[in-house]
Amino acid sequence: MESYTYLLLLAIILASTKAFGLLTEKVHLPQVVGALLAGIIMGPSGFGVLQSTDFLVKTAEIGVIMLMFTAGIDTELEELKKTGARAFAIAVLGVIVPLALCGSLYFVFFLKELTFYNLLKAAFVGSVFSATSVGITVETLNEMGKLKTTTGTTLLSAALIDDILGIIVLSVLTGLSGGMASGGGEQAAAGSLDLGAVGFVLLRIVLFFVFVLVVGFVAKKFFEHLSEEHWHSRRIAVWALAFALIMSYCAEEFFGVADITGAYFAGLILCNVSRSRQFVAKKFTVASYMVFTPVFFASVGMKTNLTSMNSQIFVFALCLIVAAILSKIIGCGGAGKLVGMTNHQALIVGIGMVARSEVALMVAQKGINAGMIDPVILPAIVLSVIASALSTPILLKTAVHRGPELE
Amino acid sequence: MESYTYLLLLAIILASTKAFGLLTEKVHLPQVVGALLAGIIMGPSGFGVLQSTDFLVKTAEIGVIMLMFTAGIDTELEELKKTGARAFAIAVLGVIVPLALCGSLYFVFFLKELTFYNLLKAAFVGSVFSATSVGITVETLNEMGKLKTTTGTTLLSAALIDDILGIIVLSVLTGLSGGMASGGGEQAAAGSLDLGAVGFVLLRIVLFFVFVLVVGFVAKKFFEHLSEEHWHSRRIAVWALAFALIMSYCAEEFFGVADITGAYFAGLILCNVSRSRQFVAKKFTVASYMVFTPVFFASVGMKTNLTSMNSQIFVFALCLIVAAILSKIIGCGGAGKLVGMTNHQALIVGIGMVARSEVALMVAQKGINAGMIDPVILPAIVLSVIASALSTPILLKTAVHRGPELE
């Protein structure tokens, strides 16, 4: 007789993440915060009702794949094409500055010794804070009637490019860390750098992008053909999910880049099939919120052991919160200034990119799984993600109100 | 580093069950048949691409729970209330005759010795064929414009009651078999009957129904209150799923009845919350077909080892097909005659109840898990289920056309 505990665990996760999510929403915080809280409170560092199991780990991973696929398929390619160098510059600095600043902070606190391996670890922590979650900003600007301004649309485009750049950075980092792990951990830890191995990893990453182009071409044709007649039938959504899963698998197993990279590109490919796009995205969203993403958020919360925070990690967390917020304002705002925005516009763009959410959590999870991020700093990361998400609407409203009418 | 094979397995299951399902639909067979075929062909007895894993077993079980919940919430209680003794009589004989006939057949072929344990095993096999799947009949009659006749509506009501009766029979059988297993397998196998243990099992089943009434009352109030404002928001669907999972867990762990019984009653309770009913059913359906039910059908197919069929099982399968079809025609048709239908109407009602589908497969799976059904006869069961589903529309069309205008 098998045990049925997994049914109970799943029920508790679904009920509690939703309940806490609604509570945080009541006090104008994103539901994600509530879902994380549910995991923290019901998990091992709280009441201990929930514990991680193989089934939950796999369910959470599928949730991550669904989230990334949805991010990909929701990309507004038309917006992206219209976007000039401005948004691109903002996105680039918006990835580099947080990577450098948050990574350096981690280096200074925990690593200290300058080796290639340590740099890679620091970069992984930094890359967590590269990924913008523009949803909160969109909501806030929309509420204030400022979304359709030039600043608003530039911000949106920059966030889209930011996603793609972040994914590329993650691919390179995952590839390098996987390459170093297979190339011998001690050697890697000792910091010696095998240029051949690095070259091989970079080759695999390039091959992955070639793979994406080739498969993308074929898959786009297939789904376009399918959507001529069946754009609103179940088969297209089911096959899209199969496609997302296969791309995730191939990315991870054959190219050594993260599965979420594969899922994201699967979504990006299918966002070109305009007829079925919305239908597919909708079905993914339902399957996602009914089962999979609550498990992901709860599982991140469950891993977030707040009680294990010592004073060093606590101070690190405070500094990381400041770095996470400032790095986007400096990076994106600075780029905005460079491409000729006014101070006020540049500030809005910078603040608008501050919020991080699920993508940052996914990258952190990837880093932990790959052995590149020490789980002990997860509470600091989670707190910074939450703080960045919370401060965005407050800072944004203040900045918009204090300046001249936004264009 | 974890292995990502489960992503690939899931992708293959989703892609192949849909592809085969569409193929069988092209030749006017139900998609379920295709999904089963996909499991047989891709599974261990075919190409061996798929094999069962803990993750797939659990995902399939959640699929089963979703299917049973949906069956429950889709119950037309208004129809049921209007239905008189006629439909009830048809349902009762429609459960008893297949149970007796198919059970006896199994007894004669494989068990032979008359003990309580063997009777229980035979009854389990018989109960697989009690569960009607009226979907195919509804489609066929609708196509012919005969669904709204008196015969059609009686048939529908009988099928609804048939579901409930089937679930009660399953609960008793599961309870008894669980009670015997815990009361000492050898004693049970030796056939001696501990009346105390049986009494305890029956008491637990009664307690389960009391539990359903009490929890049902509270849950109905809660969901009714919730649906006043939020009948179309995510929370109601997510909490409904949590409720279905908890009911399944409690049924299995505390009362020793099958988890699908709990899921079915969870659905039946929420079918009383008319405001949110459709919304909830729709979200369950999407989550179901996107991931969970394909895994269930494929996993039944994977367990169906056609190559292991020896001549005895082959002959048994042929007899079982005949018994499965005839038992419903005799049981339901006979009951129809008894309550005053014409020969033609009674025949239509009998044929209309012949089709079996997912519920039968779920009961078979339960029986195998409980050690009450020998997996070696699964091919015979699957073939009979498929044959009954295939023959229903053919027999039904012939019968309707050959007789007088249906009332």
- Measured between CA atoms, the residue of chain A closest to residue B372 is A1
In the predicted model, what is the mean pLDDT of chain B?
88
8 A C-beta contact, residue A407 and residue A340: no
Residue A81 in this model has a pLDDT that exceeds 80:
no
Please report, for residues A238, B28, B31, B32, the alpha-carbon distance to residue B22 in angstroms, rounded to integers and kept in the order given: 12, 10, 6, 10
Residue A327 in this model has a pLDDT that exceeds 60:
yes
Contacts of A368 in chain B (CB under 8 A): none
Among B260, B272, B257, B256, CA closest to B217:
B272
Average pLDDT value for residue range A289-296: 94
**Amino acid B23: pLDDT:** 94
Among A215, A285, A250, CA closest to A67:
A285
Contact A177/B at CB under 8 A: no
Average pLDDT value for residue range B281-297: 94
How far from each other are the two terminal CA atoms of chain B, in whole angstroms?
Answer: 66
The dihedral built from the CA positions of residue A335, A336, A337 and A343, taken in this order, carries a sign that is negative
**Amino acid A179: pLDDT:** 66
Position A269 confidence tier, pLDDT thresholds 50, 70, 90? very high
Greatest mean pLDDT among A27-31, A300-304, A306-310, B38-42: B38-42
Contacts of B2 in chain A (CB under 8 A): 57, 369
Please report, for residues A213, B31, B132, B137, B264, the alpha-carbon distance to residue B142 in angstroms, rounded to integers and kept in the order given: 47, 19, 18, 8, 26
CA distance A76 to A74: 6
CA distance B355 to B137: 8
Q: Which range, of A154-158, B51-55, B144-148, averages the lowest pLDDT?
A: B144-148
**Amino acid B10: pLDDT:** 97
CA distance B134 to B152: 11
8 A C-beta contact, residue B368 and residue B375: yes
Helix locations, A107-149, DSSP H: 116-128, 135-143
Contact B55/A at CB under 8 A: yes
Tokens of B268: 């039946």
Tokens of A308: 């294990």
pLDDT in tens, A91-149: 999 999 999 999 999 999 998 888 888 999 999 999 999 988 877 788 788 778 887 88
Q: What are phi and psi of A100, to 5 degrees?
A: -70, -45
Contact A181/B at CB under 8 A: yes
CA distance B312 to B330: 26
Q: Which of B290, B292, B295, B299 should be substituted to probe chain A, the one whose Cβ sees the most A Cβ atoms within 10 Å?
A: B290
pLDDT in tens, B136-190: 788 788 778 887 788 888 888 888 888 888 888 888 888 888 766 655 444 545 5
Please report, for residues A140, A160, A300, the alpha-carbon distance to residue A394 in angstroms, rounded to integers and kept in the order given: 9, 23, 25
In the predicted model, what is the mean pLDDT of chain A?
88
DSSP state of B62: H
Contact A359/B at CB under 8 A: no
Residue B305 in this model has a pLDDT that exceeds 70:
yes
- Measured between CA atoms, the residue of chain B closest to residue A282 is B286
CA distance B77 to B83: 10
Average pLDDT value for residue range B289-296: 94
Residue B304 in this model has a pLDDT that exceeds 90:
no
CA distance B310 to A333: 75
Residues 6+ apart with CB under 8 A from A259: A61, A64, A65, A248, A249, A251, A252, B4, B7
Among B3, B83, B81, CA closest to B272:
B81
Average pLDDT value for residue range B68-86: 80
Contacts of A262 in chain B (CB under 8 A): none
**Amino acid B193: pLDDT:** 59
CATH classification code of A5-402 = 1.20.1530.20
Average pLDDT value for residue range B243-257: 92
Residues 6+ apart with CB under 8 A from A228: A275
8 A C-beta contact, residue B295 and residue B10: yes
Burial of A145-182, coded b for 16+ CB within 10 Å and e otherwise, reads: ebbebebbebbbbbbbbbbbbbbebbbbbbbbbbbbee
Contact A62/B at CB under 8 A: yes
Torsion of CA B160, B164, B169, B171, to 10 degrees: 150
Interface touch B18/A291, C-beta < 8 Å: no
CA distance B62 to B69: 10
User: Residue A22: which of B22, B235, B286 has the nearest Cβ?
Assistant: B235
CA distance B402 to B253: 51
Contact A284/B at CB under 8 A: yes
Amino acid present at A8: L
Q: Which range, of A80-84, A132-136, B236-240, averages the lowest pLDDT?
A: A80-84
Neighbours of B150 (CB within 10 A): 12
3-state secondary structure at position B363: helix
CA distance B372 to chain A (A): 12
Position B2 confidence tier, pLDDT thresholds 50, 70, 90? low
Residue A193 in this model has a pLDDT that exceeds 80:
no
Residue appearing with tokens 């790959």: A370
Cα angle A292, A296, A302 (rounded to 5 degrees) comes to 140
**Amino acid A357: pLDDT:** 83
Contacts of A181 in chain B (CB under 8 A): 1
8 A C-beta contact, residue A142 and residue A148: no
For B310, counting Cβ atoms within 10 Å of its Cβ (0-12 exposed, 13-18 middle, 19+ buried), the class is exposed
Tokens of B128: 């697989």
Residue appearing with tokens 């600075």: A334
* Chain-centre distance for alpha carbon B285: 17
- Residue length of chain A: 407
Residues 6+ apart with CB under 8 A from B122: B103, B104, B106, B107, B111
Interface touch A11/B290, C-beta < 8 Å: no
Interface touch B8/A249, C-beta < 8 Å: yes
Interface touch A234/B61, C-beta < 8 Å: no
Contact B394/A at CB under 8 A: no
Tokens of A154: 């530039």
Among B160, B179, B154, CA closest to B72:
B160
| Residue percentage of chain A with pLDDT more than 90 | 46
Position A1 confidence tier, pLDDT thresholds 50, 70, 90? very low
Question: The pTM is what?
Answer: 0.88
Contacts of B257 in chain A (CB under 8 A): none
CA distance A186 to chain B (A): 17
CA distance A69 to A263: 5
Residues 6+ apart with CB under 8 A from B341: B86, B151, B349
> Count of A–B CB contacts within 8 Å?
136
pLDDT top residue among B31 and B234: B234
Contact B62/A at CB under 8 A: yes
3-state secondary structure at position B354: coil
pLDDT in tens, A119-128: 999 999 999 9
Among B50, B40, B73, B58, CA closest to B301:
B40
Among A279, A248, A304, CA closest to A62:
A248
Interface touch A249/B286, C-beta < 8 Å: no
Interface touch B248/A4, C-beta < 8 Å: yes
CA distance A269 to A211: 12
Contacts of A289 in chain B (CB under 8 A): 234, 238
pLDDT top residue among B110 and B182: B110
**Amino acid B326: pLDDT:** 95
pLDDT top residue among A31 and B106: B106
**Amino acid B1: pLDDT:** 37
List chain A domain ranges. Answer: 5-402
* ipTM metric: 0.87
Residue appearing with tokens 């729970």: B65
**Amino acid B157: pLDDT:** 85
Q: What one-character-per-residue DSSP string does A150-186 give?
A: HHHHHHHHHHHHHHHHHHHHHHHHHHHHHHHHHT-HH
Average pLDDT value for residue range A326-344: 93
CA distance B17 to A27: 45
Residue A360 in this model has a pLDDT that exceeds 60:
yes
CA distance A35 to chain B (A): 13
Helix locations, A183-310, DSSP H: 185-190, 195-230, 234-253, 259-270, 274-287, 293-303
* Chain-centre distance for alpha carbon B396: 21
Residues 6+ apart with CB under 8 A from B246: A7, A8, A11
Hey, which residues 12-41 in chain A have their CB within 8 Å of chain B? 12, 14-15, 18, 22
pLDDT top residue among A177 and B299: B299
Interface touch B65/A7, C-beta < 8 Å: yes
Residue B377 in this model has a pLDDT that exceeds 60:
yes
Contacts of B370 in chain A (CB under 8 A): 1
Contacts of A286 in chain B (CB under 8 A): 283, 286-287, 290
Q: Which range, of A206-210, A291-295, B83-87, B204-208, averages the lowest pLDDT?
A: B83-87
Contact A49/B at CB under 8 A: no
Residue A79 in this model has a pLDDT that exceeds 50:
yes
Q: Which of A4, A5, A7, A286 should be substituted to probe chain B, the one whose Cβ sees the most B Cβ atoms within 10 Å?
A: A7
pLDDT in tens, A211-243: 999 999 999 999 999 999 888 889 999 999 999
